[in-house]
């Protein structure tokens, strides 16, 4: 059984070859669970573009019966995952070479943590070698001030107070047990990975590793830049904060952390 299941909900299959190259650079025991959604449901890999789908037995491709959206598609991939650890990578982003080994080591060192995450750098269109470590200093997209264990509720409180989420959730390696326990990915029009992260973070510590893990691609077709995506932002964030507060209030004592009685 693989140690790490990498999940990808796919709507842009043309980007998969470069993502596969970055996954193949990982020096850990992995499987890649690819779940096709939207227009990608009709895509059929040809020998010239995605031969790895047929050639690499660590790659498991499945297509939805109909378009289901990001959260449901990720959950269908999660259902198929067999690893004890899970990381979800978007189809338009990339991993640094051998970056997941550090997250595995952190989770082994801190068994009390539900997950581990590392630094995310920006990847802009035109980068010559996006799968490799950058030749020039990267522009950091998301990071935490110091490595180590972060106590429950710390990140959620920071996000609610400052209005800026300091975690790129694609760089989070979960314990599968904890991701399943908080219900998997959210049935929401956005922030489907932020929602379970803050739910788990309300109850359990998480650890940060100050090494580059993930490259977040900025491009013209980005869903997060669309008006519809921005329009629902406040409502989704308010619901996510409410869920985290209620979990901490109701269940905090069960995890060894005092319930929030505010």
* Residue-level pLDDT, tens digit, the chain, 262 residues: 579 999 999 999 999 999 999 999 999 999 999 999 999 999 988 766 667 777 899 999 999 999 999 999 999 999 999 999 999 999 989 999 999 999 999 999 999 999 999 999 998 765 545 455 555 667 899 999 999 999 999 999 999 999 889 999 989 999 999 999 999 999 887 889 999 999 999 999 999 999 999 999 876 666 656 666 567 888 988 999 999 999 999 987 556 565 554 4
pLDDT at 261: 42
What's the pTM? 0.89
Q: Hey, what are 57's tokens?
A: 């037995």
**What is the distance between the alpha carbons of residues 11 and 70, in angstroms, rounded to a whole number?**
9
Q: Domains along the chain? A: 4-255 (3.90.550.10)
Judging by DSSP bridges, how do beta strands 30-36 and 4-10 pair with one another? parallel
Q: CA 32, 206, 218 angle in degrees (round to 5)? A: 55
pLDDT at 124: 73
What SS3 class is residue 62? Answer: strand
């Amino acid at each position: 059984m693989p140690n790490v299941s990498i999940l990808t909900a796919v709507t842009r299959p043309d980007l998969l070859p470069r993502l596969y190259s970055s996954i193949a650079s990982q020096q850990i025991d992995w499987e890649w669970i690819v779940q096709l959604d939207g227009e990608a449901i009709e895509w059929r890999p040809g020998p010239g573009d995605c031969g790895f789908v047929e050639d690499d037995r660590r790659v498991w491709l499945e297509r939805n019966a109909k378009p289901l959206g990001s959260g449901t598609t990720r959950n269908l991939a999660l259902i198929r995952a067999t690893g004890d650890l899970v990381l979800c990578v978007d189809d338009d982003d990339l991993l640094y070479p051998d970056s997941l080994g550090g997250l595995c080591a952190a989770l082994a060192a801190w068994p009390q943590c539900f997950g581990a995450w590392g630094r995310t750098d920006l990847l802009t269109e035109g980068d010559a070698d996006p799968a490799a470590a950058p030749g020039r200093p990267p522009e950091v997209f998301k990071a935490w001030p110091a490595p180590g264990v972060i106590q429950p509720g710390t990140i959620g409180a920071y996000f609610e107070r400052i209005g800026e989420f300091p975690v790129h959730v694609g760089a989070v390696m979960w314990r599968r047990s904890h991701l399943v326990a908080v219900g998997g990915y959210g049935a929401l029009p956005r922030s489907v990975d932020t929602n379970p992260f803050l739910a788990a973070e309300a109850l359990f510590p998480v650890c940060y590793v100050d090494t580059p893990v993930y490259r977040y691609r900025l491009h013209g077709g980005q869903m997060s830049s669309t008006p519809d995506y921005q329009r629902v932002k406040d409502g989704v964030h308010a619901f996510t904060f409410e869920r985290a507060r209620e979990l901490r209030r109701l269940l905090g004592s069960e995890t060894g952390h005092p319930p929030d009685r505010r």
